[in-house]
């Protein structure tokens, strides 16, 4: 059974604070979600009671620390239904997860091979590939979108050829809220023996993720967008790829033996985890998973869906507004523009009214270019948001319109 909204909200201390003398309305969840007390406590408990480096000490604390860290890996593995813990690499976020693949995977490729990413990607799923392509003489191809913000699958099919070596695609667009048909894309790619990397930054807190069902080859996400700590991310990779791929960074933990005649590397997943990880944050990630599972991910998704439909309908009613992205089958990210009002102006005044939202290009400049705009305003919801908050936001938006009229 889904807990009451109040029971969810009461777990988030920050929601009690005021901003600019107004009650905080936090609608910037696409950038990062707030943290429940369980996550906050797990971080501080770690430093109070367990702090010690992992995987290398025989002493009590190090052993306890390592057990807790590896238990977190187990929770992530179960959370996304990976086959083995070896497929769970801890990173510092989605960006690093994608950079890891972009650097390491492309070292297996030949000059003239190509990689495909889509027009709606966050810069984190574009720039790492540009860097890798430039360094290795690869071509970066763009999967285009339709004017209603959906991936153009026909065009995607037309740019795949026998030199295509990977497709990188967002599960959910951070601007449009589009939910991409990953299983269809994976089926198309796999029929051509092409692996698929899914940028799950915007989906992991909203949809049940089952990597076995999606059958994607890589899945990247950040803890901080799913109620966890900043500086912790995950790269899921199929073992067959991770085994083939060379290490991404060198250092401690990722080696088996080191000598100046040659170094041998550790087994998976440690081969890709050089240096001391964010142990406290990683342990806190299992608390974030527990928080989401206690409510039920499907329940979270359902509530957010209701909030999204409500907000979309009310915004449409308001008039003189441009909404971006699909109308149906979309996530709880809403990008819009008030006609003749710069998003920066509106965002500045809404901030004064206690509302945290995002304005700007949302790290998706190629997508802005597609729509011929310099930016949008974006609201994005999480498990703790309410209809009342949306009502207050709409009222505030109305005031903003009056100020600029």
Partner 1 sequence: MTNIKERSDEIAANFSVFDDWLDKYNYIIEIGKSLPVFEDAKKSPSNLISGCQSQVWITAEYRDGQIFFAGDSDALITKGIASILIQVLSGASPNEIINCDMSFIDRIGLREHLSPTRANGLNGMIKQMKLYAIAFKSKHETII
The residues binding partner 1 (CB under 8 A) are 20, 342-345, 348-349, 352, 359-360, 374-375, 403-404
Structure tokens at 95: 């960006």
159 or 356: whose CB is closer to partner 1?
A: 356
Q: How far is the CB of 210 from partner 1 (least distance, A)?
A: 37
Secondary structure (3-state) at 150:
coil
Residue 47 vs 344, nearer CB to partner 1: 344
Alpha carbon distance 245, 268 (integer Å): 11
How would you classify the pairing of strands 218-222 and 233-237? antiparallel
CB of 118 to partner 1, least distance (A): 24
Q: Say if residues 209 and 200 touch (Cβ distance below 8 Å).
A: yes
Report in angstroms how near the CB of residue 344 gets to partner 1 at its nearest. Answer: 4
CB-CB contact of 121 with 199 (8 Å): yes
Dig out the tokens for 76 from the structure: 């992530």
| Separation of alpha carbons 303 and 27, rounded Å | 15
Q: Where are the alpha helices (DSSP H) in 122-221?
A: 127-136, 153-159, 182-190, 211-214
Q: Is 47 exposed, middle or buried (0-12, 13-18, 19+ CB in 10 A)?
A: exposed
Using CA atoms, how far apart are residues 287 and 265, in angstroms rounded to an integer? Answer: 31
Provide the minimum distance between the beta carbon of 361 and partner 1 in the complex, in angstroms, as a whole number. Answer: 8
CB of 342 to partner 1, least distance (A): 4
- Of 300 and 346, the one with the shorter C-beta distance to partner 1 is 346
User: How far apart, in whole angstroms, are the C-alpha atoms of residue 279 and residue 319?
Assistant: 49
Q: Give the tokens for residue 357.
A: 């939202």
**What is d(CA 93, CA 31) in angstroms, rounded to the nearest whole number?**
13
Q: Is 168 helix (H, G, I), strand (E, B) or coil?
A: strand
Residue count (the chain): 405
| CA dist., res. 32 & res. 27, Å (int) | 10
Residue 174 CB, nearest approach to partner 1 (Å): 16
Q: Which residues, 6+ apart, have CB-to-CB distance to 70 below 8 Å?
A: 85
Q: How far is the CB of 398 from partner 1 (least distance, A)?
A: 14
Alpha helices by DSSP H, 137-234? 153-159, 182-190, 211-214
Q: Quick check: bond before 269 cis, omega within 30?
A: yes
Residue (247 or 343) nearer to partner 1, CB: 343
The yes-or-no answer on residue 363 being catalytic is yes
Q: Rounded distance, CA 383 to CA 391, Å?
A: 17
* Of 54 and 350, CB closest to partner 1: 350
Residues catalogued as catalytic: 363
């Amino acid at each position: 059974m889904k807990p009451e909204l109040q029971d969810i909200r009461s777990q988030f201390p920050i929601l009690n604070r005021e901003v600019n003398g107004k009650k905080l309305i936090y609608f910037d969840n696409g950038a990062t979600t707030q943290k429940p007390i369980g996550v906050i406590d797990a971080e501080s408990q770690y430093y109070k009671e367990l702090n010690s480096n992992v995987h290398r000490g025989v002493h009590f604390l190090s052993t306890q620390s390592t057990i807790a860290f590896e238990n977190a890996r187990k929770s992530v593995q179960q959370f996304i239904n990976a086959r083995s813990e070896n497929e769970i690499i801890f990173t510092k976020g989605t960006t690093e997860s994608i950079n890891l693949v972009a650097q390491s995977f492309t070292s297996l490729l030949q000059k003239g091979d190509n990689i495909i990413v889509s027009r709606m990607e966050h810069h984190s799923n574009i720039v790492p590939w540009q860097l890798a392509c430039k360094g290795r003489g690869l071509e970066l191809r763009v999967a285009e979108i339709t004017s209603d913000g959906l991936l153009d699958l026909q065009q995607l099919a037309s740019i795949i050829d026998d030199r295509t070596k990977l497709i990188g695609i967002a599960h959910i667009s951070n601007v449009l809220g589009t939910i991409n048909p990953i299983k269809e894309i994976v089926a198309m790619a796999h029929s051509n023996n092409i692996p698929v990397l899914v940028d799950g930054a915007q989906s992991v807190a909203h949809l049940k993720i089952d990597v076995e069902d999606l059958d994607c080859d890589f899945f990247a996400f950040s803890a901080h967008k799913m109620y966890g700590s900043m500086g912790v991310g995950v790269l899921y990779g199929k073992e067959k790829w991770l085994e083939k791929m060379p290490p991404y960074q060198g250092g401690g933990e990722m080696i088996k033996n080191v000598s100046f005649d040659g170094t041998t590397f550790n087994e998976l997943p440690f081969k890709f985890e050089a240096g001391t990880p964010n142990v406290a944050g990683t342990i806190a990630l299992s608390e974030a998973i527990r928080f989401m599972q206690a409510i039920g991910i499907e329940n979270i998704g359902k509530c957010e869906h209701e909030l999204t439909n409500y907000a979309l309908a009310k915004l449409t009613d308001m008039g003189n507004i441009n909404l971006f992205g699909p109308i149906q089958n979309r996530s709880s990210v809403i990008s819009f523009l008030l006609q003749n009002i710069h998003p920066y102006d509106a965002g500045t005044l809404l901030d004064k009214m206690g509302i945290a939202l995002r304005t700007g290009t949302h790290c998706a400049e190629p997508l802005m270019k597609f729509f011929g705009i310099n930016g949008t305003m974006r609201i994005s919801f999480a498990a703790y948001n309410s209809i009342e908050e949306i009502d207050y936001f709409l009222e505030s938006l109305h005031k903003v319109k009056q100020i600029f009229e």
